[in-house]
Amino acid sequence: MRRDLWRVIRRSKSFYATTYRLSGSVLVFSLFVNVVLGLMIWQTYLNKPKRHFYITNGVVPPSELFPMDAANEASTPLLANDPDAADDEHILNLK
């Protein structure tokens, strides 16, 4: 075989080896980035603060609602009745 043919063969093998190493490095880097992002999302999900819910009708100050695991099946209501709005000065008279 001639020298230039050997040179072409060596260059071809070098190209394939370089491409293989580079693609392997990119794959490992991508895997590392995905694992780090997954751990960050998991950490954010675990450290999420508890949510607070409030209720108001606009006249009385808001009162906090507490989440329950099941539906209320007791005979007593969870919230007190609204105040009587007949004596309230905040209600608009639209005529």
58: CB partners within 8 A, 6+ apart: 90
Residue 86 has pLDDT above 60, yes or no: no
Q: What is the pLDDT of residue 91?
A: 57
For the stretch 73-84, pLDDT in tens is 888 877 777 666
Query: CB–CB of 26/35 below 8 Å?
Result: no
Delimit the domains of the chain by residue range: 1-67
pTM attached to this predicted model: 0.48
